[in-house]
Structure 1
Amino acid sequence: MINSIPCIIMRGGTSKGPFLRMSDLPESPEARAETLLSLMGAGHALQIDGIGGSDPLTSKVAIVERSDHPEADVDYLFAQIDGPGRRVDFNPNCGNMLSAVGPYAIETGLIEPSDDMTVVRVRNLNTQRLIECHVPTPGRQVLYEGDTRISGVPGTAAGIQLSFLDVVGTKTGALLPTGQAQETIDGVVVTCLDAATPTLLIAAEEFGLNGNETPAELDANEPMLARLELIRREAGRRMGLGDVSQGVLPKPVLLSAADEVDATLRARYFVPYRCHKALAVTGAIALATAVSVPGTVAHRIALASGRLTDDEPLNHVRLEHPSGYIDLDVEHRGQDSHDVARVSLVRTARKIMTGTLYYSSTSTSSGTSTSNSPVDTVKAKAC
């Protein structure tokens, strides 16, 4: 049986995927997950029977609906699809896909646009945090064309400012979930930190790396990846996340001193089994927060390279990644480096296609029906 659902395919930041209304999906979390697997073509390396892009950055889904939260206009639930593994992970947030949530809400009539600029208040259901999206709407129409350029995306587009509020402890309830700024796992010095997303921060030199390796080089380094995964799993246990072997949190990040004099750090961010070709927004927020926290791996590297001259919190952080740079503004409450009020950055978005997405109610994996097989699903608290 073939089913259909209204859909807008959008690029948000350096990610891309279908944007759907929650009201158009099944109410049951299990049925909802099965629907997402089907429409994305999960279960095949090329996701040939759906619209998934055979890459973690293009195997993402944004689910949006009107919010009943008094401080939010819309709710946003992010789903990360593991195509070959047929898994749906609702635990992480995706700040890049979030870039297009405001435009989508306006395009679908969930939000009435204002003249010039429309502020869309978003509640992320994965983290239960609020984000302000400033969408340019001259003439009460979403503006996509502009002169803002972001690394990892060709051309230019209209800038959309995202301000993440109260980013600390989104999953664990604490900035430093283990109570330590740094600790040792398997002989490697690490920082376990939760700001916008749980992360595992490690100096690249711990693995004998310079930190400027390409994603392809890192993805081909199987011994390093295997050891990194073992450390990640132990970090997840220490952070109170339990057994993370089937999840994507915490996200590992290898750090080193940046090449550019104006950059604060150089990062190689994993998602978590492959190196990100750029840098996730939530990961960038975590790093921008960590730089100002004394004792963290990020703080130590920035201090040693001269990017940080004292223990005063940094208000602006520039991060170097494989595709270029990302700039973030960090607002602390007073001089407390552990208390971050908001982190803001500029992304872009583009509407690619509006229409009807068709999917089969019977999922397939490598050509074999798996409609009676259990779906490996990690549920969000909001589901």
Structure 2
Amino acid sequence: MNDLLAIPCVLMRGGTSKGPFFLAADLPAGANERDKILLSVMGSGHPLQIDGIGGGNPVTSKVAIVGPATIPGADVDYLFAQVRVDQQIVDTSPNCGNMLAAVGPFAIEAGLVPARGETTLVRIHNVNTGKMIEADVPTPNGNVSYLGEAAIDGVPGSAAPIALTFMDAAGARTGQLFPTGKPVDLIDGVAVTCIDCAMPMMLVEAGAIGASGFETAAQLNADKTLLERLEKLRIGAGERMGLGDVRNQVTPKPVLISRPKSGGDISVRYFMPHQCHPSLATTGAVGIATACINEGTVASVLVGTRKPPVVLSIEHPSGHLDVKLHERDGKVVAGILRTARRLFEGHVFAKPVTQLGCAA
């Protein structure tokens, strides 16, 4: 027997993200010890995460921790952790809607939720934000099905559809849809919309900071001047949103928006926050779509007047993502179609906590 910790783990793709899924009972209960384990598992602090299973990119350096529900009306708890690639930092302030797509299948196969008929509804309590999300998971013959004809931009091939419904996503972090109290703020002379819906974000029209909004992710990642300008605006937005000093946080996410050019309703470039997402975060799509239906935001100026029920098609570097907004019980809910896949299961190995440094 070796001297490393062996931890049960399932590697899963959720939407356009990928990462290890753990049962909460298999990780330390204390956040500090837990985060040290996650940093060891992922290999953070190295650009390739060479000493861990992270993929050297923010969309492949994510962790999902799932356990029994702790609030009424939910089936499971889901804690998301964004593990930084370049620094030894674990951020549990945001949710991740792409990883969320795999929570339902994982929970069913882990025995936390029984399969119920051809489709199983899994009610997920996101611990990060305190919000509820419903996932409809295909379970023909009482088993999770991953094979199907649904396709999402940013993922090759097709798979079984998983419908996610975000219930009352407004104020996920701050308690307010517009944390500054206004749909538009001026920061450093630039008009921005600070919105908190599924994910705290700062939306800015691309042309206002010298971009077209149609650049590739690689082009934007190579533009250090633009990235520095965007980070300065993001730090200012974080302060105004009541998030404090956000230099070591991944929220708010900065988003460049522009008019569509491929038949959609709006075009976006979403940052994570220091690299452009190769496609679009699911939570980001919910917040962007919500900004589009609220008058006075920088997004509504581009798309015109839209009211629920409505489907908004958001263009991103890999294609489109559609968000359906409709009302339920007097509140706007957002529906998005995603897919997921189980990649491998077994044990991941971590250094003992006593051998690890402090986690941020």
Q: Shorter-chain TM-score category? A: over 0.9
**Using the alignment, how far apart are the partners of 2:145 and 2:88 within structure 1?**
36
Cα deviations by residue, 1:146-174 (Å, 9 ceiling, x for unpaired): 00000000000000000010111111111
Task: Describe the SS at the equivalent of 1:77.
Answer: strand
Equivalent residue for 1:82?
84
Structure 1 residues 137-148: aligned runs within 5 Å: 137-148=139-150
The aligned counterpart of 1:23 is 25
Q: CA deviation at 1:312?
A: 3.6
Tell me the alpha carbon deviations over residues 200-236 of structure 1, each in whole angstroms, 9 at most, x when there is no partner. 0000001222111000110111111101101100100
Q: Provide the residue aligned with 2:257 in structure 1.
A: 255
Report the residue type matching 1:256 in the other structure: S
The farther-off stretch of 206-215 and 149-158 is: 206-215
Corresponding position of 1:35: 37
The match for 1:375 is 359
Using the TM superposition, give the Cα deviation of residue 61 of structure 1 relative to its aligned residue in structure 2, in angstroms.
Answer: 0.3
1:362 shift after superposition: 5.8
Please give the residue correspondences for 1:310-349 in structure 2 after superposition, counting only pairs within 5 Å: 310=305, 312-313=307-308, 315-332=310-327, 340-349=331-340
Q: Does 1:183 align with 2:178?
A: no
Aligned to 1:379: none
Shift of 1:315: 1.6
Mark the CA change 1:30 to 1:125 in structure 2 (over 3 Å): closer, same or farther. Answer: same
Gaps of 5+ in 1: 304-309, 364-368, 377-383
Letter of the 2:29 partner, please give it.
E
User: Structure 2 counterpart of 1:351, which letter?
Assistant: R
Shift of 1:267: 0.3
| Alpha-carbon displacement from aligned partner over 1:33-56 (angstroms, at most 9, x marks no partner) | 001001111122211111000000
Distance between the aligned counterparts of 1:85 and 1:166, measured in 2? 33
List aligned pairs for 1:1-383, cutoff 5 A. 1-261=3-263, 263-303=264-304, 310=305, 312-313=307-308, 315-332=310-327, 340-361=331-352, 371=356, 373-376=357-360
For 1:344, the aligned partner's letter is G
- The residue identity in structure 1 corresponding to 2:277 is H
The 2-side partners of 1:180 and 1:253 are apart by: 18
Q: How much does 1:333 deviate?
A: 6.1
Identical residues among aligned pairs (%): 48
Question: What corresponds to 1:366 in structure 2?
Answer: none
Cα drift, residue 313 of structure 1: 4.2
Q: Retained in 1: the 8 A contact 2:75–2:124?
A: yes
- Per the TM alignment, residue 311 of structure 1 is displaced from its structure 2 partner at its CA by 5.5
Work out whether residues 42 and 81 of structure 1, in 8 Å CA contact, stay in contact via their aligned partners in 2: yes
2:312 counterpart letter in structure 1: V
> TM-score normalised to the size of structure 2?
0.97
Separation in structure 1 between the aligned mates of residue 50 and residue 250 of structure 2, nearest angstrom: 23
Q: Distance in 1 between matches of 2:171 and 2:24?
A: 26
The offset of 1:331, in angstroms, is 1.4
Pairs aligned (count): 358
CA contact (8 A) 1:167 1:340 kept: no
Q: Secondary structure at the match of 1:97?
A: helix
RMSD of aligned residue pairs (Cα, Å): 1.4
With normalisation by structure 1, the TM-score equals 0.91
Structure 1 CA distance, aligned partners of 2:41 and 2:159? 28
User: Displacement, 1:244?
Assistant: 0.5
